[in-house]
Amino acid sequence: MQVPSSKRLRFVLLAPLVLSMVVGCSSKTENKPPPKESTTPKGESASADQQAPPKGPVVLGNMLDPFTPPPLKELLANHKWVDRPVVDSMQRMREHQAKLPPPKLSAKEALALRNDSPEKNEKILDTLGRLAPKDGKGVDFDAEITLLASGDLKSTNPLLFSSVVEADYGGLAGFGLFGFDRTFDKFASADTVVSWQTSEDRLVDKVVIRDDLTWSDGTPITAHDIAFTFRAIMTEQVIVPAVRQGTDKIRWIEAYDDQTVVFFHKESLATNDGNMNFSILPKHIYEKSIPKDPTLARSAEHTKYEDAPVVGGPYVLTKRARGQEFVLERREEYYMHEGKQVRDKPYFKTVRYKVIEDRNTALLALKSGDLDSLILIAEQWNGQTGGDDFYRHNTKASGLEWTSFHFCWNLRTPYFSDKRVRQAMSYAVDYDELLNTILYGVYQPNRGTFHPTSRMFPKNGPKPYQQDLDRAEELLDEAGWEDSDGDGIRDKMIDGRRMPFEFTLMVVNYEDRIKVATLMKECLDSIGIVCHVKPTEFTVLTERQRNHKFQAAFAGWGSGADPDTTSNIFATDAGRNYGGYSNPRVDELFDQARHEFDEEKRYALYGEIHKQMWKDQPYTWLFYRNSFYGFNKRLRGYNFSPRGPFHYGPGFSSFYMPVAAP
């Protein structure tokens, strides 16, 4: 921290702090066809608001305008059609790796390395990230993998997902049509789709799904399930605003037969591909139950399917001990059909998630071999995973990730409605201590909502803030927050009474996050602002933010696969615009970008959004978090993307254990 000027109260030096790696998801649930397109951690997964549904009769699709789709023959004749990619993401990764030089090290040599330099990290990934042979030779198909669940699995219904844990579950059990690879190149999944065509005017998409798909109860998966799910999402009494955002840009979805489904869009938008990407419900299970119980959770029937869900993905839930663990088993009918193998056999027979909320306890479980994978926080990567106790069972690897952390300011409060105040908050942070002491120098300073390595980051983009307490005080003075009574606390006349600048900063109830928030408290204390740090359970913090019942919060966002997902956070009245940020120019730029099909021009528009929000500082952006993982030595096939090693195609499905693993 800087030495305080004569106007500051005191100077406090903090001990080294640690930041939790538990982060929110990306701005819209991106449900990819599992296992190759496992869902996001961004993420941000979609969530249902905890509010009572509107009263009145429940008619599925009652938010849709009347529309009569033309006969299929007429539709095909009246449009020019463009073939779109249908991709096997595992095969795409194989083709990529086939162009690489052979690994320089054997698996035994790579596992013997201590990952203490970028060079060693590259060697570890180059060897242990290679895929299993296409024929599966040497793979232990009876293996079980044990992963961390940082909280309980609250719902198994994909429309009700509200946490990273549920998104991870959905990536294994859920069914969808679309996905993307580690470069965010979008496609329809060859696991579920035969063909995908888009009309030349971009108003219609026609998808033909495979005829060898079944739900876990043996019922065929058809185009009618997709059309039904859309109508369920677009039902007023079904409270799923985050899932609905984007999906509501679709005018109609028509199932012409069991395999042919057509998406009719309201507008020709560059974002239409993403708008079609939602998880699918089994029509035969929910068609009659949703009108009776639009909450999807209160009826006995819905409770039954919560604990024994009917799913379309490669894994099915077989055990659910709340607060302890949940277990999924490989589903033979997913990859076998009428006695023939029709899809890749998932490498793991069993996927077990253990609920461990304490990060130190989770690290002990990894070291003892009770977990096979774990995100490592900065302190763990730097100081707790370098000894024999870690390397006995594990190795570790890292990669670039676009996850970012921030302080979110509620602009609907009198404290943060003024841009100058928010800028002052950003000048107040001691970034040197945050990045180099707390975070051990392993993360990058945050330069706004888009990562500097992304195509959305503007040319000559903004430089990171540096602590400047003098400038912070000048901005607060300009905004009318001064110490008028000499008590050392800034105040301001608001609605006829003098209000002290005293607010509460909410933070997830982890010791490391509390310490980060405390750093901000001490920084603000030195310029006459009282900040109370309030540790809060994750679900409570999320609900308070969603309902705008907070003043400030420390949180993080993962990256969406399309930059438009950011509009779900920063567009006026968007579902996750927790801080109430509103700028007509930003709204206009988001709309322009949706209508722009030239990629370079489109990304330039997001660059303008980035620069405008940097000026407005609705968040104080703090740092970008890299991927730091510990992996059991039995694991192979892990590769990193801007969303980490799991949440892209092929993601989780490239992980495997060889028969003769150490």
pLDDT tens for residues 500-555? Answer: 999 999 999 887 788 899 999 999 999 999 999 999 998 899 889 989 999 999 99
What tokens were used for 421? 């105040």
Q: In this predicted model, what pLDDT tens digit does every residue of 479-495 receive, in sequence order?
A: 999 999 999 999 999 99
Residue with tokens 């044990």: 146
Residue 250 has which token pair? Answer: 């679709």
The whole-chain average pLDDT of the chain stands at 91
Report whether pLDDT(16) > 60. no
Question: What distances in angstroms separate CA 286 from CA 179, 542, 594, 622, one per listed residue?
Answer: 25, 28, 33, 43
Helix (H) or strand (E) holding 328: strand 325-330
pLDDT number for residue 245: 85
pLDDT of residue 7: 34
- Burial class (CB within 10 angstroms; exposed 0-12, middle 13-18, buried 19+) of 319: middle
pLDDT of residue 51: 54
Q: Identify the H or E element spanning 403.
A: strand 394-409
Average pLDDT over residues 39-51: 36
The number of beta carbons lying within 10 Å of the beta carbon of residue 504 is: 15
pLDDT of residue 49: 42
| Residues 315 and 329: beta-carbon distance below 8 Å | yes
Is pLDDT at 580 greater than 70 in this prediction?
A: yes
Q: Please give the structure tokens belonging to residue 57.
A: 């009769």
Contacts of 353 (CB under 8 A, 6+ apart): 146, 147, 148, 149, 153, 165, 168, 169, 325, 326, 327, 328
pLDDT of residue 5: 36
CB-based contact 593:605 (threshold 8 Å): yes
Burial tier of 6 (Cβ tally within 10 Å: 0-12, 13-18, 19+): exposed
**Tokens of residue 43, six digits:** 């993420």
**What is the distance between the alpha carbons of residues 185 and 82, in angstroms, rounded to a whole number?**
17
pLDDT for residue 56: 73
Task: Check residue 661 and give its pLDDT.
Answer: 66
How does pLDDT run across 399-436, given as a tens digit for each residue? 999 999 999 999 999 999 999 999 999 999 999 999 99
Buried b (16+ CB within 10 A) or exposed e, 350-371: bbbbbbbbebeebbebbbeeeb
Calculate Rg over the CA atoms of the chain: 25
Domains of the chain: 72-376+628-654 (3.40.190.10), 414-626 (3.10.105.10)
Q: How confident is the model at residue 191 (pLDDT cuts 50, 70, 90)?
A: very high
Determine how β-strand 204-209 pairs with β-strand 86-87. Answer: unpaired
Instruction: Say whether pLDDT at 34 is over 90.
Output: no
What share of the chain in percent tops pLDDT 70?
92
Average pLDDT over residues 615-636: 97
Provide the residue type at 287 as one letter. E
**The pLDDT value given to residue 660:** 82
**Residue count (the chain):** 662
- Cα(514)–Cα(509) distance, rounded to whole angstroms? 7
Largest CA distance in the chain: 83
Which one-letter amino acid corresponds to residue 144? E
Distance, first Cα to last Cα, the chain: 48
Contacts of 260 (CB under 8 A, 6+ apart): 72, 206, 207, 208, 223
CA 501 to CA 344: how far, in whole Å? 59
Six token digits for residue 399: 């990669």
Whether the CB-CB separation of 501 and 529 falls below 8 Å is answered with yes
Mind listing the pLDDT tens digit for each residue in 215-264? 999 999 999 999 999 999 999 999 998 789 899 999 999 999 999 999 99
Closest residue by Cα to residue 163 from 449, 508, 542: 542
Q: How many CB atoms lie within 10 A of CB 336?
A: 15
Query: Does residue 163 surpass a pLDDT of 90?
Result: no
pLDDT tops 90 at residue 12? no
Confidence class of residue 145 from pLDDT cuts 50, 70 and 90? very high
Q: Do residues 316 and 173 touch, judged by C-beta distance below 8 A?
A: yes
Q: What is the DSSP letter of 59?
A: -
CA distance 366 to 361: 9
The token duo for 181 is 């690879």
Q: Which bin fits 565, alpha (ψ -120 to 50), beta or left (φ > 0)?
A: alpha
Q: What percent of the chain has pLDDT over 90?
A: 85
The answer to whether residues 599 and 276 touch, using CB atoms and an 8 Å cutoff, is no
Residue 53: pLDDT band with limits 50, 70, 90: low
In this structure, the number of other CB atoms found within 10 A of the CB of residue 177 comes to: 26
- Predicted local confidence at residue 52, as pLDDT: 59
Q: 239-259: buried (b, 16+ CB within 10 Å) or exposed (e) per residue?
A: bbbbbbbbbebbbbbbbbeeb
pLDDT per residue as tens digits for the range 340-351: 999 999 999 999
Are 457 and 603 in contact by the 8 Å Cβ rule? The answer is no
Q: How many CB atoms lie within 10 A of CB 600?
A: 8
Nearest to 530, CA basis, from 555, 551, 508: 551
pLDDT digit string, tens, across residues 288-302: 999 999 999 999 999
Task: Determine if the peptide bond prior to 35 is cis (ω within 30°).
Answer: yes
DSSP E strands, 565-653 = 619-632
Q: Which residues are 255's β-sheet partners?
A: 261
Distance of CA 91 to the CA centre of its chain: 25
Residue 30 confidence (pLDDT) above 70: no
Residue 6 predicted with pLDDT over 50: no
Half-sphere exposure of 410 (CA within 13 A, CB side): 19
**What pLDDT is stored for residue 575 in this prediction?**
82
